[in-house]
Amino acid sequence: MEKTSESKITDFRSSREGARNIPDDNQVGEVIYLDKEKQKRKEKREAEIYEKYKSVFDFREEKYAQDVENKNSDNKISESILKALQKHNKIVLSDGIDLIRGNNLSLEDGVAAIIATAMHDSGKLSSDVLSHHEKGIEYVDEMFLEMEENDFEFEGVKLNDEIRQKIIWAIERHMNYPWLIRKNGGKKFPEPENIVDKVVYDADMLANIGFKNVAFRLSVEDNIQEDLMEARTGSSVIEESFKNVMEDVVILDGVVLTPLAKRMATKRIDDVKKIFDYLKENDIFENVQKEIIVSLKGLNSDPETEYEKDENSLFVKLLFSGDKRSETVEIIKGRLDDEIKKAGMKLGINWETIDKLTM
């Protein structure tokens, strides 16, 4: 049964008392940083992975550039969608590295998991969202043909058919994000079976805990029209976009599979809920939308927007009028990210987590 706007908010709302119990605006929020040495080691480890697997990341980025060029001739890919995808990939890799170490994968399985993590969404710009895993598998096959000719190896592990198959399985089995299942008519995709599958799947689910998917919603008119309909109850379109994303975010601790991922998800969801409540309690969604309307009206010459009295309808018309949608979404995203960071700092959330929660 479809949830109403009011019921959705109570599904994930953390204690209102907790949201109010924060420093006032005159106090400087203190960020609780992770142990500095631990963070330095993590950053060094991630930099080493990017260097060791440079050929994989380069191949993926070449495919993105190729797909943008091909698709832009008749169906423009928003720059904001590409940027959100690249941010997602970065978080998936970061969480994937932690899960590989935390689940004690063998060297061979670790190599397969890193490559699958890097390539899991490689087909997203050239295919329907429900079939992007299939396009990603095509790209992996193409990449392997190139690499096998040059006798590639990673961390001393030579690529072979067994590793290739594990990568393909992991990409095929990473798809069961709740929103994708709903879009697929409630039918699940192939589910993870082995530890490589589970690590890649969990890393992808963890990377969806945050507000990144709000940027995707703001870039797709059908999604924003849904948010506009729900905003008729008295909220703003931006708030409804956040609510729609939160509806899936708050259940992901029950979706991830490994014990380590469940612990990571539980903590991250708690932080997301605190930030959402803070933004709502302080009227950030409504205020930012009003600011954006004023800004866009100054740039927009469409006469249809001049006489629109409903602020939510006006916001949507301004968002999707003209040819500067990507720039508009980036402005909104930047403004909201500033507020997410401020809220996170006031609430004492560590900076690494805040960065993963932003849009």
- What does DSSP assign to residue 157? E
Q: Give the residue extent of every domain in the chain.
A: 1-30+210-359, 36-207
Using DSSP's 3-state secondary structure scheme, residue 158 falls into strand
Residue 330 has pLDDT above 80, yes or no: yes
Residue 65 has pLDDT above 70, yes or no: yes
Return the bridge partners of 154, or none. Answer: 157
- The pLDDT of residue 308: 58
Task: Give the per-residue SS3 of 239-255.
Answer: HHHHHHHHHHHCCHHHC
DSSP symbols for 207-266:
HTSSSHHHHHHHH-HHHHHHHHHHGGGSS-HHHHHHHHHHHHHTTGGGT--SHHHHHHHH
pLDDT in tens, 174-194: 999 999 999 999 999 999 999
CA distances from 209 to 26, 123, 204, 334, 356 (A): 30, 22, 9, 19, 8
Residue 356 has pLDDT above 90, yes or no: yes
- The pLDDT of residue 18: 39
> What are the residues whose beta carbons fall under 8 Å from the beta carbon of 102, sequence distance 6 or more?
258, 260
- The pLDDT of residue 299: 55
Instruction: Kindly state the average pLDDT of the residues 46-62.
Output: 96
Q: How far is CA 158 from the centre of its chain?
A: 32
- In CATH terms, 36-207 corresponds, of 2.60.40, 1.10.3470, 1.10.10, 1.10.3210, to 1.10.3210
Q: Indicate the range of 81-85, 175-179, 302-306 predicted with least confidence.
A: 302-306
Return the bridge partners of 157, or none. Answer: 154
Helical (H) or strand (E) element with 51 = helix 36-52
For the entire predicted model, the pTM comes to: 0.85
Q: Tell which wins on pLDDT, 215 or 239.
A: 239
- The pLDDT of residue 300: 54
**Phi, psi at 158, each rounded to 5°:** -80, 140
Instruction: Kindly state the average pLDDT of the residues 299-328.
Output: 72
Residue 26 has pLDDT above 50, yes or no: no
Q: Tell which wins on pLDDT, 93 or 41.
A: 93
CA distances from 79 to 121, 129, 322, 345 (A): 16, 17, 15, 29
Using DSSP's 3-state secondary structure scheme, residue 153 falls into strand
Residue 132 has pLDDT above 70, yes or no: yes
Tokens 């082995």 sit on residue: 194
Most distant CA pair in the chain: distance in Å? 66
3-state percent helix, strand, coil for the chain, nearest multiple of 5: 70, 0, 30
- The pLDDT of residue 50: 96
Q: Indicate the range of 10-19, 185-194, 216-225, 250-259 predicted with least confidence.
A: 10-19
Q: How confident is the model at residue 81 (pLDDT cuts 50, 70, 90)?
A: confident
Label residue 187 left, alpha or beta by phi (over 0 means left) and psi (-120 to 50 means alpha): beta
For 67, the token pair is 């797909």
Give CA–CA dist 13/201, Å, rounded. 26
Strand-strand pairing, 157-158 and 153-154: antiparallel
